Amino acid sequence: MSDRRGAVIVTGGAGFIGSHACKALDAAGWTPVTLDNLSTGHRDAVRWGPFEKVDMRDTEHVADAISRFEASAVLHFAASAYVGESVERPDAYYDNNVGGMLSLLKACVAAGVTRFVFSSSCATYGVPATVPIDEATPQSPINPYGRTKVMGEQMLADVARQHGISYALLRYFNAAGADPDGELAERHDPETHLLPLAVRAALGGPALRVFGSDYETPDGTCIRDYIHVTDLAHGHVAALDALADRPTLALNLGSGTGYSVLQIIEAVERHTGRAVRRELAPRRPGDPAMLVADPARARAVLGFECRHSDITTIVRTAARALESQEANASIA
């Protein structure tokens, strides 16, 4: 292990983005250490570095793990992340996301962490006055999930400043796709995300419900900026490196290109050669019409470029991951 760069704590490393980040950290020479309560993550997604089952709200256990693994840096992914669910269960979201953040920060201070990279979100911008969204856009979230992320950013900034921790706030747009090498997938239960649901509908699954067709967008459906999860993962590694000589970073991570729900459906139909059965449904509470990143600052500060975020690669990798999961499920 002597040639490694040291241990990095990855909270939520058993989840979709966290597991891809572990792979990217390992490739960059770090040893990722996953801390995850497995409430939504998967033990078998932890394939790079050690795993410890722990809830972020257990401050003592988290502090002990950070010290034992001699980690000086943390990537914090562990959180509840469904906009719709956050509207229905705000108390659970504040408990897990804000309570978890406070507890983790206390543990980081106790264990002497010096770098912290936080999974924030474009949901912190609410309904932006202009699109694309740059980092100077006021943060004015319109759902509890987005509010927990703004609070997390603020708590981190205050604690980090006081305790000399360098920190990055990474506001990401819609993570999608799956590991291009086929080693990891997106697995949510129940699945609520557009891409996997559209692929499932094409492969004969239930019809996709299109949430809202009367938005002020060219085709009436919501527009989002889909960024490949592997690009996002590399953005985290680049931010971690950049913190070696910068105390703070606040960056959007997106592709800079927006697709409507109907355009995503068309891309899935092109790839699979099959129709995506769909039905029009009411708007989903908490959904802004259009969220697209201005990726200029991440490019300038980190040299960040998307390599896998074209829609064809996103759909192809998402579809392959889903097909192999379904094949495994039918064998099991």
| Catalytically annotated residue among 125, 145, 167, 215 | 145
Between 197 and 319, CB nearer to ligand UDP: 197
148 CB-near residues (< 8 Å, 6+ apart): 79, 80, 86, 93, 94, 97, 98
Q: Catalytic annotation on 145?
A: yes
**262 binding ligand UDP? (CB under 6 A):** no
248 binds ligand UDP (CB under 6 A): no
CB atoms within 10 A of CB 276: 23
Binding ligand UDP by CB under 6 A: which of 160, 194, 199, 265? Answer: 194
Please list, in sequence order, all residues whose beta carbon lies within 8 angstroms of the beta carbon of residue 207, skipping any fewer than 6 positions away. 201, 277, 278, 279
Beta-carbon contacts of residue 44 (< 8 Å; ≥ 6 apart): none
Closest approach, Cβ 99 to ligand UDP, in A, equals 22
**Do residues 206 and 200 touch, judged by C-beta distance below 8 A?**
yes
Matching residue, tokens 């959007």: 252
Write down the least CB distance from residue 17 to ligand UDP, Å.
12
Residues of this chain, 142-181, that bind ligand UDP according to CB under 6 A: 174
> Minimum Å distance from CB 261 to ligand UDP?
5
> What SS3 state is found at 53?
strand
CB of 269 to ligand UDP, least distance (A): 15
- Given a contact cutoff of 8 angstroms between Cβ atoms, the answer to whether 233 and 20 are in contact is yes
CB of 196 to ligand UDP, least distance (A): 8
- Contact region with ligand UDP (CB under 6 A), list: 27-35, 127-135, 208-216, 301-309: 208-216
* Binder among 65, 222, 238, 267 for ligand UDP (CB under 6 A): 222
In the numeric block, which tokens belong to residue 304? 């960040």
| The token pair that represents 177 in the structure block | 């796709």
- Cα 19 to the center of its chain, rounded Å: 10
Q: Which residue is nearest to ligand UDP (CB)?
A: 222
Q: Is the separation of the CB atoms in 101 and 261 below 8 Å? A: no
Binder among 161, 209, 270, 274 for ligand UDP (CB under 6 A): 209
**For residue 288, which of 146, 110, 115 has the smallest C-alpha distance?**
146
- What SS3 class is residue 252? strand
* Structure-token match 């950013």, residue found: 153
Per-residue x/- mask for ligand UDP, residues 270 to 309, rule CB under 6 A? Answer: --------------x--x----------------------
Catalytic residues: 145
Binding site for ligand UDP (CB under 6 A): 83, 174, 192-194, 197, 208-211, 222, 224, 261, 284, 287
